[in-house]
A = this chain, B = another copy of it.
C-alpha cells in the first residue's frame, strides 16, 4: 500500500507528508477548498507560516479536496483538528473510507474555554474521537495511535532517548493495527515500544493524555518529550 491520503494540511499533516515522501510513498493531502488553501497567506492558529510556503517546497505531494484525497489513499490519515474531524471526514465521504485503514492521530481539544485547552466534553471520558469516528464510519478500520506526542516525534522517534519510549495503538481490526505498526516501523518505531491497548475504546485513555501532556509542555517549555512505560 503505497498511496496515502492525509486529511488536513496543518503542521502535523505537513510533517507526515514530508516523511512519507522520503519513504517513497505517493501522498495526497486533502483540504476543504484547494484554491483557497493555495491562495491563503494567513498563518495558522499557532503562528506557523501559510500552507503555500511549505507546499512550494513540497510539490511532489499531491493536493486535493478531502474527498479526492480519501478516494486516492489506500490508507487514510486523519490529522485534522479533533473538534472538526468528524465534519472533515464526512466531507471526505464514507464511500471513500469504507474498507480502508483510517489512521487517526488527532485529539479533540476544545480551545473555547481558555488555555491550556480541555477536551471536547462530548468526545471525552465516556467517549473519544477515535470511537466517534469508528461509529460514524463503521466500515472504516479506525486505528488510533501517535496522538500522545508532538508530531516531530511521531515520524522520528529516534530524535530522543534512542527511540526508546512508548507509542500506544488501539483499534478493532487486528490486521489494520498490524499494517499501521508496520508503517510506524518505517518511521523508526520498534515493536517493543508500540503498546497495543486493545479496541478503539482505549482511545478514551490515549486522548486523555493530552491534559497532562499540555501541562508538562508548559512546565518544561519543551515539546520534544514522550512517555516511556517503565516496569
CB within 8 Å of B: which residues of A? 113, 118-119, 121, 124-126, 160-161, 164-165, 168, 170, 195-198, 202, 204-206, 208-216, 218-220, 222, 224-231
Contacts and interface: CB of A to CB of B under 8 A. Distances in A.
A78 to B, nearest CB: 20
Given A119-B125, A204-B118, A231 B160 contact: yes
A198 B212 contact: no
Given A229-B227, A230-B165, A231-B161, A219 B195 contact: yes
Given A161-B230, A164-B230, A197 B224 contact: no
Contacts of A227: 227-230
Contact of A209 (B126, B212, B228): B212
25 contacts: A113-B126, A119-B125, A125-B211, A160-B230, A161-B230, A165-B230, A195-B216, A195-B219, A197-B216, A198-B219, A202-B215, A204-B211, A204-B215, A205-B214, A208-B210, A216-B229, A220-B231, A222-B231, A224-B231, A225-B231, A226-B229, A226-B231, A227-B227, A227-B229, A228-B228
